Amino acid sequence: MIIILIIAAIVSAIIGIKEGEGITDTIIIMIVVVINAIIGVVQENKAEKSLEALKKMSSHVAKVIRNKNLVVLPSKDLVPGDIVILEAGDYVPADLRLIESVNLKVQESALTGESVPVEKNSNVIEKEDIGIGDRENMVFSSSLVTYGRGKGIVTDIGMNTEVGKIAGMINETEDNVTPLQQKLNNLGKVLGIAVIVICIVIFIVGSLYGKEPIHMFMTAVSLAVAAIPEGLAAISTIVLAIGVQRMVKKNAIVKKLPSVETLGSASVICSDKTGTLTQNRMTVKNVFVNGRIYKVDELQNLDDETDIVIKAGMLCNDTKESEDGTLTGDPTETALVDLAYSLKFSKTIYDENKRVAEIPFDSDRKLMTTVNKFGDKYFVYTKGGMDEVLNVCINYRKSNEIKEDLKEYRKVIEENNVVMAEQALRVLAFAYKVLDNKPSESEIENLESGLTFVGMCGMIDPPRPEAKLAVEKCISAGIKPVMITGDHKITASAIAKELGILREKDEVVTGTELSEISDEELIKRVKNISVYARVSPEHKVRIVKAWQANGEIVAMTGDRSK
């Protein structure tokens, strides 16, 4: 369209000069072209500045050992071979191979889709072709250290990191013509052909009637120029700019003007799970006590067993609370504190039950234990995995009684654990015992023994309240929602069913299965697959291309998606 307008302006100038009518039409057309260009440049320049501001906000520093000294450097100054020190709260500045770790946990949801922080270690992995989510001795650029500390050697920087590879794949993606651009291009072709036809017809008809050839040529060209809609390009740009401004009010940055129209034409939306469809905040959904599972909203009149579980969750916990009430720490621990506050447990519990000793969480034991003084008694609280907690218990508490037949009751515990696991809940078990005296340093080593099992909590990163409504609107509008996540298959399926993304006869495919499917087969099957679990970033490109091969317009949303 712009090319046709420029040609029309040139022709108008020639005709105007020839016939002495001036170049008013030419000036008007060129003003339209210039305004159109200015609007586009200004709007996209605003987006670029916003993106640059975001980049500056996200730039990080690293604690590095160089020449046997600890120095703090900008992440961009790291080189392979540097030794980086990691502590809780640090952003990982590059891809690192761990050489030392102490209770290290890293939040990798932006890269892998894992809802909770991943435990890391410095062990050697013998297997080959290990997925990103299973590389426990590696930490990746832009991940957040949530717990513990560690030390690692820089293996990759910049575009060679896993995050950089994603950026590389996006940059290599071919720029497709948007639906509006395609329509305007088709219109431009039709107008171009129509202009030529008009010129020929008018010239031939005039010549047959004996008119001067040069006069008929000028007349034909004048009519052709008049057929060109000079304002169409400007109106299209202005409408797109208005759309971009509306997106800005929704806190969305649109880098290219045509993108806003393409988003409105999308027929498939591929979405990440963690933090996009879910809240990226663990929440307790179920509590198991006294031989059965209770939903949180059923815990109004608390019995003694539930009271012990809630207190254990609060006190055997390293969550920190800021002055404004914000909870920081491991997501599973903050979920336990949130549960206690929702059930009207007071913060005074911390003052009334001072911690006097502890055994920190360890990835080998998978347990955490604290000793809290209440009155003249010392309460030992232990939390951890179900099997690990049961292994240090000698009895259990039910209906306000201590019972000894733990071996039989263990079957009930395991059955209910399976029920919660099938709902994609992350399960923590709790046990306790009461001491008359404060344990000595030698006795602390034996705290995790002779405990009484009391209950379990099942938690999950729940869907956003608005996500289910958004999915319903998409489906009613004829848009196919697809979940693509690095999280586990069971978790992804449970969330997808709750949101309405996964329906009967829809398929769930893992990254391993996807790697074994050829591109041709994926193109045939892609319409039946609603959930992709445990996938790596490069899989996303294959999925999008498969949908595009079926003639669909695909939008991708998530933490690090284009």
The CA-based diameter of the chain, rounded to the nearest angstrom, is 121
Measured CA to CA, the distance from residue 329 to residue 178 in angstroms comes to 44
CB 383 within 8 A of CB 313: yes
Kind and range of the H or E element at 8?
A: helix 2-19
Phi, psi of 329 (to 5 degrees): 145, -165
Tokens of 410: 């263990």
What's the one-letter identity of residue 389? Answer: V
Phi, psi of 231 (to 5 degrees): -85, -10
Kind and range of the H or E element at 450?
A: none
Measured CA to CA, the distance from residue 190 to residue 232 in angstroms comes to 14
Among 25, 82, 156, 272, which one carries the catalytic annotation?
Answer: 272
Alpha-carbon distances of 188 from 223, 256, 259, rounded to whole Å: 17, 21, 20
Tokens of 54: 């975001």
Strand pairing of 95-107 and 118-119? antiparallel
3-state secondary structure of 289: strand
- Ramachandran region, residue 36 (left: φ > 0; alpha: ψ -120 to 50; beta: rest): alpha
CB 521 within 8 A of CB 527: no
Q: Is 95 a catalytic residue?
A: no
The candidate with the shortest Cα–Cα distance to 506, out of 484, 472, 534, 529, is 529
CB 343 within 8 A of CB 357: no
- What is the CA 201 to chain-centroid distance, rounded? 59
Kind and range of the H or E element at 277?
A: none
Contact residues for 314 (Cβ-Cβ < 8 A; gap 6+)? 336, 337, 340, 345, 349, 350
Measured CA to CA, the distance from residue 181 to residue 388 in angstroms comes to 60
How long is the chain? 562
Catalogue the active-site residues: 272
